[in-house]
Amino acid sequence: MDPVQNPFAPGAGAPPPDLAGRDDLRETVRVALGRTRLGRPTKSVLMVGLRGVGKTVLLDRMRDDAESDGIHTIRIEAPEGRSLPGMLAPQLRLALLRLSRHEQAKDLAKRGLRALAGFAKALKIRYQDIEVGFDFDPEPGLADNGDLEHDLQALFEATGEAAQKAGTALAIFVDELQYVEEAQLAALITALHRVAQRTLPVVLVGAGLPQLRGRMGDAKSYAERLFDFPEIGPLSLVAAAVAIGKPLQDLGVGINDDALQLIVERTERYPYFLQEWGKAAWDVADGSPITKADVERASIEAIAALDESFFRVRFDRLTLAERRYLRAMAELGPGPHRTGDIAEVIHKKSTAMGPVRASLIAKGMIFSPIHGDTAFTVPLFDSFMRRSIPGDDWRA
C-alpha cells in the first residue's frame, strides 16, 4: 500500500493517530488542574512507566488539554547533565511575560520577573547552565539567597500569586524527571509543598521511569502525600486493538482478526511497538485487508527497525561491563530477576556487581521494582540482548 498514506507514527514522542486507552488519566489531570485553578486542594501528578508506554505523548496531549482550558503551561525535558534551575528559568520567564499581559496580574507578574532575575543571578555560580534574559532588575531579598530550596520556593510563590491574580494556573510539565539530581528534586518538592499550603495555583505534571517514585521519596519523605503516581503500562486488549484498527478503518483499510491478534501478541500491547508493527504491516501489505501473513512478514521489518533505533541507541551508551550485566539478565528471561541470580550467571558476587548495577540504574536501563529485584526499563530488551550478543563468549 502507499507508504505516504501510512497512518502509523513510530518515533520518540510522535503522537499516534489514535491515543487509545488513556482517557481516564487525561480526565484525572484535567480535574486536578481545574481544582488548582480554583484554589481547591489537589495533588500534583507524576506518571511512571517503562520506555515505550507513551508517557511523552500523553504528557504533551495533557498540556494541549490544559492550554485549551486556559491554563498557563511550561514544558521541559530533564536530560542527564542539565540542572533543574537551568531548565526552569527560561520557561518561567516566558510564563511570567505571558501573565504580565493580563491587566490584573501585571504588577505581580513583574514582581515574579524580578524574583527570577534575583534567582538566576544568585545561583549562576552554582548552576552555570542558567541562561535567561533579565527583563527587570532583581528585588533585594526576593529569591536571591543563593540557596536553591529557599529561592525556588520564593520564585514559585511569586509566580503563583501572579497566576492567581490572572484567574488561571501554572502547570509545569516535566518529562524524564528521574534524571534530576536528588537535592534539586528536594527543592522542587519543597517549593510545590509551599504553594500547596498557600493554595496558590501551581501544579506539576511529570513523567519518568519507575524508579522516579522511590527517588521522590528519598528526596523528601512527605512526597507520597504531595503527589499521585499513576502507573502507565501496556494498553488493554481492547485499547490495543483500537490503536491499530481505528486508524486503518479511518482510511478504509481492513485487517483480519487473526492478523490483529498477532500484532497485539507480538507487541505485548506497548504503544510504541504497536506503532512499529502497524507501520510495517501497512508497508508490506499489497492491499486491504491486512492478513496474518502480512503481519508475519511485517514482524521481521518491525524487529529490525527496533534493533536499529529504539534498542540500539540505548545499547551504544553502555560499557562492556554493563552490556555483560544486561546480557546475564537476558539469559534469565524478561524479568524481574533476583540480583543474586544475575550475578551467579556471570560467576560473580552480588556485591562485586553493585557499581555496574548502580550505573545502569542511573542511565535508566534497569530499575528495582522491589528490594533485591532488578528489571529492564525497556520492554523486550531481553530479546534484543540475545540477538545482539549471541552465544556464550560474553560470559568470559
Domains of the chain (ranges, CATH numbers)? 23-228 (3.40.50.300), 235-314 (1.10.8), 318-395 (1.10.10.10)
Sign of CA dihedral 87, 89, 94, 98: positive
Q: Which residue has the cell 514482524?
A: 299
Above pLDDT 90, what percent of the chain?
Answer: 88
pLDDT tens digit sequence for 113-143 = 999 999 999 999 899 999 998 999 999 999 9
pLDDT value at 220 more than 90: yes
Q: pLDDT grade, residue 353 (50/70/90)?
A: very high
Nearest Cα neighbor of 17 from 309, 281, 289, 242 is 242
pLDDT value at 67 more than 90: yes
Most confidently modeled of 8-12, 84-88, 125-129?
A: 84-88
40-41-47 Cα angle (round to 5): 120
pLDDT at 143: 95
Task: Give the DSSP H/E element, type plus range, for residue 337.
Answer: strand 337-338
Q: In what order do the strands lie in the sheet with 72-77?
A: 72-77, 170-175, 202-208, 44-48, 227-228
Query: Which residues fall within 8 angstroms of residue 95, CB to CB, at 6 or more apart?
Result: 72, 73, 74, 159, 170
Q: Which residues are bridge partners to 48 per DSSP?
A: 208, 231
Sign of CA dihedral 378, 380, 382, 383: negative
pLDDT tens digit sequence for 22-44 = 999 999 999 999 999 999 999 99
Q: Which residues are bridge partners to 376 per DSSP?
A: 366
CA–CA separation, 90 vs 187, rounded Å? 18
Average pLDDT across the chain, whole number: 94
Pairing outcome for strands 202-208 and 170-175: parallel
pLDDT at 294: 97
CA–CA separation, 161 vs 101, rounded Å? 15
pLDDT value at 14 more than 80: no
Residue 247 DSSP class: H
pLDDT value at 12 more than 80: no
Classify 207 as helix, strand or coil: strand
Mean pLDDT to the nearest integer, 361-365: 92
| pTM for this model (two decimals) | 0.91
Above pLDDT 70, what percent of the chain?
Answer: 100
Q: Quick check: 201 and 95 in contact, CB under 8 A?
A: no
Query: Which residues fall within 8 angstroms of residue 225, CB to CB, at 6 or more apart?
Result: none
C-alpha cell at 386: 540475545
CA–CA separation, 332 vs 110, rounded Å? 58
Q: pLDDT grade, residue 69 (50/70/90)?
A: very high
Query: Which residues fall within 8 angstroms of residue 392, CB to CB, at 6 or more apart?
Result: none
CA–CA separation, 285 vs 290, rounded Å? 6
The gap between the terminal CA atoms of the chain, to the nearest Å, is: 48
Nearest Cα neighbor of 96 from 32, 165, 148 is 165
